[in-house]
Copies of this chain bind each other. A is one copy, B any other.
Amino acid sequence: MSLSHAILASLSDNTYSGYDLAKQFDGSVGFFWKATHQQIYRELRKLEEAKFINSQEIAQEGRPNKRVFSITETGKNHLRKWITEPTELSTTKEEILIKVFAGHLVPKTKLIQELEHQRYCHQERLTVYKGIEHQFVRDVNADSREVRYKYLTLRRGIRFEKEWIAWYEETINFLAELPED
C-alpha cells in the first residue's frame, strides 16, 4: 500500500515527527492522500523496523518530547524504485456519483440541492488552493527542485477543482431542464 510511500515522500526532503506528519496529511500531501494520526504512528513503526527511516528523541521544555523521523538511504532507494516502477491507475471512490446514479429515486430538486452543496465545497477548496498557489509564486524565484515538483501537484488540485465545478454546472443545468418531477 501507498501510505508508506506517502510518508516516505513527506520525509524525502525534511525531518518530521509523527505529529507533524499527521498535520501534513491534513494539508499538503493530504490533498491527495488522507491518513489519521493512528495510521501514521503505526506505519512509522513498520518503516523503522524495515530501516527505511530512523528516529531521534528530541527533548523539549514545556511540551512533551517528540520523536523526529528521517529517511535513510535504504528508504530513499525504496521510494526511488517505487516511483519509477509503473503502477496501475489509482481507483477513485466518489459518493456523489452513486447519488447521481440512483438520483431517479428522489425528487429532482433534492438532488440538485445536494449537488449545489458539493459544488460549494469544491469552490471553497479551490479558494484554498489558489491561496497556496499565491505563496508558491512568491517562492518561485528562490525555488528549489523540490518546490517545483510540489507545485505540479498543486496545479493538478486547482485544475481538478475547476473541472468538478464545471461538471456540477453542466449537471445542475441538465437536471433543471428535465421535465419530470
Contacts and interface: CB of A to CB of B under 8 A. Distances in A.
B159 A163 contact: yes
A93 to B, nearest CB: 5
A97 B167 CA distance: 22
Interface string A70-103: 0000001001101111111111111111111111
B97 A83 contact: no
Number of copies of this protein chain within its complex: 2
A104 interface: yes
Interface residues of A, number: 68
Contacts of A159: 163, 166-167
A159 B169 CA distance: 13
A146 B32 contact: no
A122 to B, nearest CB: 7
